[in-house]
Structures are given as C-alpha cells and as structure tokens.
C-alpha cells in the first residue's frame, strides 16, 4: 500500500511549467508538423491511433462487442464492433472517432497546465496498452509498441524540463491535428470519395445530414483548440525574459 501511495504521489506531483517561449515554440512546431504535407503524412498515424481509440472506447462504454482494431501503413484504420446496427450505441461509436484527438488534447492541456506531466505520460501508456490488446494486425502492433516505447523512454529517462516541453508538443499536436482530418474529410465528401465516412454513416443512422456531423466535428475541434490554448498559453504570454 505504501508503494502504491508513493507511485501515486510521484504521478501527481506537479512539475514546473516551461518558460513561455518554450510553450509558444512547441505550439509553432506542432502547427508546422500538421500544416506541412510531408511531416503530416509521417505523423498522421498518431491521430489515427487516437481516432480509432475513440471508437473503441465508445463501443466499450456503450456495451458493444469490440472485436478488434486495425491500423494501416497508409495512416487509415478501422475499429470492428458487433451489436445492434442501429441505436444510441452505434451512433456514439461512430460519433467518437473524429472528436477523440481533440478531446484527448483538451484533457492533456488541462493536465500540463496543472503541471501533471508524468501523470499525462503514464495515462497515455495505459491507453496505448489497452489498445494493444485489441490490435488485430502486425503493422498496428508495431505502431503502438513504437509509440508506447517512445512515451515510456521520455517518461523514464528524460529530464523534467524535456518531459514538459515534449508533453506540450504532443498536446498541441493533438489539438491542431484534430482539425485537419475533418477538413480533409469534407473535401473528400465534396468530391464523392467518402461515402462510407463516419459522417455519412451517422447520416444513415439518424435523420441529420452528413454535413451536420462534419460541422459538429469541427465545432468540437475548434472549441477544444481554443480552450486548450487558453489553458496552456494564457494571454498575455510570459516569455520568461524578465
């Protein structure tokens, strides 16, 4: 019991915030990664992990049978569930994918704003481990193990200052990266290349059009980005130059 208390105390010990310039620089770096075509293609798989994790968590919470998750080298993914093909459970499962990265980013923004860097990193490890149990293809296993290994190495070996800056970078990436796939989705829908997208599946499950769900996804992503920015980079920014 004493060891568990020590672990919990370690996880919940607040770390010092990085200087304001480091927070702003991490935000700029994340924005560049998401905006650049090349870096986005290399990093987009991390958003896919969050997306499919959102589907999987919603399925479990609504008591659908989670059959497995597949992550592909083209940064796409699929979450397989079994249960009623209609109804609230199916709707919430389909609804959760595109908003998951942004909501994870918002939760992460609150944690880093409170200094709970270690808790954030270990929460990420727990979520990745849970997904690993449901992965059903080799590329997905490699992707999760690589991501989890990087997070573990950061939490175990990196100095507190490095952990804090990297945690901010990850959270900014989730917040910015949660927006771009929604914009890409609408472009594909406009060109008729996304007839089986989450938005269109939701349109078939409900009386609302697919465009409404794209707007909803964007609304959640935009509010999360605004709230996360307020939490991590309050105005006026303290650049730590004084």
What DSSP assignment string belongs to 86-123? Answer: SSHHHHHHHHHHHHHHHHHHHHHHHHHHTT-HHHHHHH
For residue 240, pLDDT over 60 is answered with no
Give the tens place of pLDDT for each residue, 134-145. 999 999 999 999
Give the tens place of pLDDT for each residue, 36-77. 999 999 999 999 999 999 999 999 999 999 999 999 999 999
Give the tens place of pLDDT for each residue, 171-206. 999 999 999 999 999 999 998 887 889 999 999 999
| Parallel/antiparallel/unpaired status of strands 77-82 and 65-71 | antiparallel
Q: Which residues of 96-135 are buried (b: 16+ CB within 10 A; e: fewer)?
A: bbbbbbbbbbbbbbbbbbebbbbbbbbbbbebbeebbebb
Give the tens place of pLDDT for each residue, 198-221. 999 999 999 999 999 999 999 999
pTM above 0.85, yes or no: yes
């Amino acid at each position: 019991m004493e060891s568990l208390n020590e672990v919990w105390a370690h996880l919940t010990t607040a770390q010092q915030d990085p200087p304001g310039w480091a927070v702003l620089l991490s935000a700029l770096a994340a924005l560049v990664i998401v905006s650049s075509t090349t870096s986005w293609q290399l990093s987009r798989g991390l958003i896919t992990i969050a997306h499919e994790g959102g589907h999987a968590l919603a399925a479990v919470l609504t008591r659908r049978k989670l059959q497995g998750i597949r992550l592909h080298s083209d940064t796409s993914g699929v979450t397989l569930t079994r249960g009623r093909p209609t109804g609230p459970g199916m709707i919430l499962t389909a609804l959760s994918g595109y908003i998951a990265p942004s909501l994870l980013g918002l939760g992460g923004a609150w944690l880093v704003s409170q200094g709970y860097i270690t808790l954030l990193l270990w929460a990420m490890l727990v979520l990745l481990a849970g997904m690993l149990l449901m992965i059903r293809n080799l590329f997905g296993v490699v992707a999760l193990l690589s991501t989890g290994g990087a997070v573990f190495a950061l939490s175990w070996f990196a100095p507190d200052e490095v952990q804090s800056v990297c945690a901010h970078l990850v959270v900014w990436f989730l917040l910015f990266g949660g927006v771009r796939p929604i914009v890409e989705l609408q472009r594909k829908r406009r060109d008729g290349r996304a007839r089986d997208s989450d938005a269109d599946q939701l349109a078939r499950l409900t009386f609302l059009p697919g465009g409404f769900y794209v707007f909803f996804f964007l609304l959640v992503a935009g509010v999360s980005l605004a709230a996360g920015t307020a939490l991590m980079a309050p105005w006026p920014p303290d650049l730590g130059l004084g």
